[in-house]
Amino acid sequence: MTSMRDRMLAGDLYQADDPELARDGARAMRLTHQLNTADPTDATTRHRLLTELLGAFGEGSDLRPPFRCDYGYQTFVGARTFANFGLISLDVATVTIGDDVQIGPNVQLLTATHPVAAGPRRDKWEAAKPIVIGDNVWLGGGAIVCPGVTIGANTVVGAGTVVIRDLPPDVVAVGNPARVVRPVQP
């Protein structure tokens, strides 16, 4: 029989209160607590904790606490990426963040989906769709990236923007929902 964790990793419906997933979530909570309460000037400890928590944490990257995630091992951060205070990565599905990405404060990367039908929702079924943030993307403060979205390389997402559909490379997008307003200048 397929475990709930295997179902989650495959992108199928699963129940988040499964004991194996609860253990994975508790691990992430323990490590994020250590990260969020560590000396903020201790980059070595922060790097060690992020390397242990995340699926990948690229060379020269920095993620300022506080940080929150569901599991950690589903979040992959490229090289030279910077995330300001308050990043939330609900990494039920994979969250892939490219190289040289700039993430403003209080950005939310949300992979989880839930059934609209009352019965399955009441029975605690959920699923997820991966998020991909391309190289050299800038996500302005308070931006929200919804499940299944890919943001192309070099794209700028304005502060407070809600991204519900893929964005192509080399554009500026703003609003709720996000709309492309112009190309990025070279």
pLDDT, one tens digit per residue, over 139-166 is 999 999 999 999 999 999 999 999 999 9
73 vs 35: CA distance, rounded Å:
15
**Amino acid letter, residue 163:** V
Q: Is the pLDDT of residue 67 over 90?
A: yes
Q: Which domain holds residue 85?
A: 4-183
Ordered DSSP codes for 133-152: E-TT-EE-TT-EE-TT-EE-
Q: Max Cα separation, the chain?
A: 52
Number of folded domains that form the chain: 1
- Residue 102 token pair: 């700039």
The dihedrals phi and psi of 10, each to the nearest 5 degrees, come to: -85, -5
Residue 115, SS3?
A: coil
**38-56, pLDDT tens digit by residue?**
998 999 999 999 999 999 9
| CATH code for the domain of 171 | 2.160.10.10
* Active site (catalytic) residues: 114
Confidence at 69, pLDDT banded by 50, 70, 90: very high
What percentage of residues in the chain have a pLDDT greater than 90?
A: 92
Class of residue 119 by CB neighbours under 10 A (exposed 0-12, middle 13-18, buried 19+): exposed
Question: 15-30 burial, b for 16+ CB within 10 Å, e for fewer?
Answer: ebebeebeebbeebee
